[in-house]
Copies of this chain bind each other. A is one copy, B any other.
Amino acid sequence: MRPLFHPALEDIKPEAILYALSDPERVAIYAKLAGASSGGTCSALADLGDRVIPKSSLSNHFKVLRESGLIMSERQGVEMRNQTRCTELDERFPGLIRAILTAYGQLPGQP
C-alpha cells in the first residue's frame, strides 16, 4: 500500500476543501467523524442509514477528505483511524468549516 499523503497546513487549498465537502456523503462522513468520540474507522462510517457505501467508494471518499486536508488517517493494526484536522484548519481558514457544517445542519451536537 502506498504511503498516505497529507498536505501540510500551509498547502491546504480552499478549492479542495470546498470540493470535498460539496458531496453530501462526504459531509455525512466528516460530520460523523467530527462528532464521534471514538476514532472513526472506515467501516464504522459506511452506513448512511438510507444506503451503505460500497467500500471502494468509501476508500475514495476518505482519500479525497485526506488529500484535501480535512482529515488525518493512520493505520492502527488492521484498521484505519481517522480524525478531523478541524483545529488546525480553523486556524488557516477561520470559521470556514463551522459555517459549512452549519449550512448542512450537521454541526456536531445538533439534532
Binding site for B on A (CB under 8 A): 14-19, 21-24, 27, 93-96, 98-100, 102-104
Whether B15 pairs with A24 at a CB distance below 8 angstroms is yes
* Number of copies of this chain that the complex holds: 2
Q: Please, how many angstroms separate the alpha-carbon atoms of A102 and B18 in the complex?
A: 13
Report B-chain residues with C-beta under 8 Å of the C-beta of A24: 15
Known: A93-B102, A100-B96. A18 touches B22 (CB 8 A): yes
Q: Please, how many angstroms separate the alpha-carbon atoms of A96 and B19 in the complex?
A: 15
Q: Please, how many angstroms separate the alpha-carbon atoms of A103 and B92 in the complex?
A: 8
The smallest beta-carbon distance between A79 and chain B, in angstroms, is 29
9 closest A-B pairs (Cβ-Cβ)? A19-B22, A18-B22, A14-B103, A93-B103, A99-B99, A95-B99, A96-B99, A18-B18, A96-B103
The smallest beta-carbon distance between A21 and chain B, in angstroms, is 5
